[in-house]
Chain A
């Protein structure tokens, strides 16, 4: 196969001098480079042959996808990377691990689900990672690693540390939207990233010729104004040379490359795949495109250098790896969250010295966090506005509600980035950046937009620490506006409390006062876990006393905001104001209501909530999501489990209706939980 370049390569003389020089240096590669490449390819092949054999015996749990046929790609690309450079990988990721230097025994132990594995048995083959080697994880979501690598490159670019990120993915991922969002992001920001498509012609059982509209995936680079190159992926020299150019381009600040390597899938999609969907002749042809055999032939060598050493290395890994200890079942919930012990105590709040709005409190928190820590960056749609225009226009928007206004001027465009409307792309990039040294705060505008990036939040950010055996923290904050009452209707009003709180690995916060907004947001930014920070639109203009100096409010702590003896009103977010309103009216009727502001939805402060209910004997849970499977159901269950003996009445729920949020004012008013609903619930307990 000839190397194809999209757009067609400029004449060498017209290229940047250094880039042309780098390319020239690799033409006619030294025999030593080729021999080193062959040794790596043999290491990968031998490992995968052994995996195939051992898997068949039945003692390796789950299922496994081997890297047979693509060895030249991992070897040829990773040869240009240092240990500090970062890669993301795929479900077919063993080759990437090995080429990036992962320990073979710890890899084997992981495939067998052992505590001694790279990820302590929490990840397995499809989620194997080694952060000490810059290997940011295999990914069982097709295309799942692409935005993460983009974010790793964003971190490298922001920190100016010279690292390069590489996203490996298959041709199946070429049709995932997140690839296209990521290519565009990397192009507009000229990020140091290389997108490597290992096109083996099959997305599981679906041929690329059927599923992909172009012959060369690299031709899609044209759509994003970046360089696209296709090489024969079974030709080590071709891959090595093209990767050299691409990595050089990234390191030189010349932006991303889409490098496609056409490889043959020598084996099935997974070990044991009967491949009935695949013509025998095509499979035989695939076996002939063997990169290891090709390089051996090219070198005219009888045996790869170090073949014996590689063999004994692999024997040793398979001898010891499967004998590692099983994880202790008692540790099943370990490493879901970064431990509290790794974090300092919250900075106590000084006395509040003036009244500001909730929105100003959010802004103050962002400004204080950015001033205190250079690794804090904010990004999102329209957080500045007027991008690139300069003058009075750039920065004039300052976010949909104005929370980020002034940050661009104070901290510059590297740390305050407007994003295109690419939720999966930029939330994934923020997650990847959080893995690579930044503490991103993302403005997602509305929680109703979160479904556009659920994979990035749910499968990536929330699960990474756990799946990778506690190797990494994910210090990421996702700010979102929530709530009805502003006539914004169905797709701009959701709270999605249970959607977020139901994901182990996420923390979820919903403040109701300006003071808590500032303290909780500062604490969320300091937390080493992904925190979903939900700001109710109805609260933005409310005012309250707030200390000017930075301080923190602990996550996971509810607050008693009005003491009482007869009934506990357990409220979430803006519903706290309705509960306070109801409590005031109840006082007029001689009923003493205690109001608990939940503040932190995950983790939930069951202790404070239950202590209140145990004392009053009555509980009304008030929150703004549809009743069915809503947050109130969870809180009511927690109360019932813990305080049943003290309850004089069943726990009552005051929630929104079981419908999307309607537009028409009388309908929306009927949808919302109100103080009157709370009063009715309490009176029914008389």
Chain B
């Protein structure tokens, strides 16, 4: 499992915003696939997956939070993803 966080993407170190998820809960993703849109310093950018797996979302679009805040995870298997959901 790879933890998903709101990442630092440059010199800016203030709060950032999760604009929109680009993959549904439980969706299968490959390395390089866009996962979510994030706004940092008024610039929107797509954050891509660093790994292959299944997405688990833990934060809602619109969340404004410090860099490093956990917003979800990429599970290695569908079962692991299901376990993350608690069902």
Contact = CB atoms under 8 A, between A and B. Distances in A.
Contact of A56 (B8, B32, B46, B66): B8
Contacts of A284: 32
* Binding site secondary structure of chain B: loop
Contacts of B66: 58
Interface in A262-315: 270-274, 276, 283-284, 287
Contacts of B31: 287
Contacts of A59: 68
Interface stretch (B9-17, B18-26, B75-83): B9-17
Contact of B9 (A60, A271, A283, A287): A271
A57 B9 contact: no
B9 A272 contact: yes
A284 to B, nearest CB: 6
B7 A272 contact: yes
A52 interface: yes
Contacts of B50: 52-53
Contact of B10 (A52, A53, A272): A272
A55 B11 CA distance: 11
Given A56-B68, A58-B66, A58-B67, A272 B32 contact: no
A283 B13 contact: no
Most B C-beta atoms less than 10 A away, residue of A53, A58, A273, A283: A58
A63 interface: yes
A52 B66 CA distance: 18
Interface in A88-129: none
A58 B13 contact: yes
B10 A56 contact: no
A57 B65 CA distance: 12
B45 interface: yes
A274 B13 contact: no
A62 interface: yes
B5 interface: yes
Given A274-B45, A274-B46, A63 B5 contact: no
A113 to B, nearest CB: 13
Given A57-B5, A57-B68, A284-B32, A62 B46 contact: no
A interface, size bucket:
10 to 19
Nearest to A57: B68
A62 B32 contact: no
B32 A270 contact: no
A638 to B, nearest CB: 35
25 contacts: A52-B50, A53-B50, A55-B7, A56-B67, A57-B5, A57-B7, A57-B67, A57-B68, A58-B7, A58-B13, A58-B66, A58-B68, A59-B68, A62-B11, A63-B11, A271-B8, A271-B9, A272-B7, A272-B9, A272-B10, A274-B45, A274-B46, A283-B32, A287-B31, A287-B32
A63 B5 CA distance: 18
Contacts of B9: 56, 271-274
A227 to B, nearest CB: 38
Interface residues of B, number: 16
A622 to B, nearest CB: 45
A272 B8 contact: yes
* Binding site secondary structure of chain A: loop
A56 B11 contact: no
Interface in A28-72: 52-53, 55-60, 62-63
B27 to A, nearest CB: 18
B56 to A, nearest CB: 18
A55 B32 contact: no
Interface in B19-68: 31-32, 43, 45-46, 50, 66-68
Contacts of B46: 274
B64 to A, nearest CB: 15
A63 B67 CA distance: 14
Interface string A121-149: 00000000000000000000000000000
A62 B9 CA distance: 10
Nearest to A283: B32
A276 B48 CA distance: 12
Contacts of A273: 9-10
Given A63-B10, A272-B10, A56 B45 contact: no
Nearest to A287: B32
Contacts of A271: 8-9
A55 B68 CA distance: 9
B45 A55 contact: no
The 5 closest A-B pairs by CB, nearest first: A272-B9, A56-B7, A58-B67, A274-B45, A58-B8
A17 to B, nearest CB: 48
A59 B13 CA distance: 9
B8 A57 contact: yes
Contacts of B8: 55-58, 60, 271-272
Contacts of A287: 31-32
Contacts of A274: 9, 43, 45-46
A287 B51 CA distance: 12
Contacts of B11: 62-63
Contacts of A52: 50
Contacts of A60: 8
Given A58-B7, A270-B10, A274-B46, 7 more contacts: A52-B50, A56-B8, A57-B7, A58-B13, A63-B10, A273-B10, A284-B32
A592 B46 CA distance: 75
Nearest to B43: A274
Nearest to A56: B7
A63 B11 CA distance: 6
Nearest to B13: A58
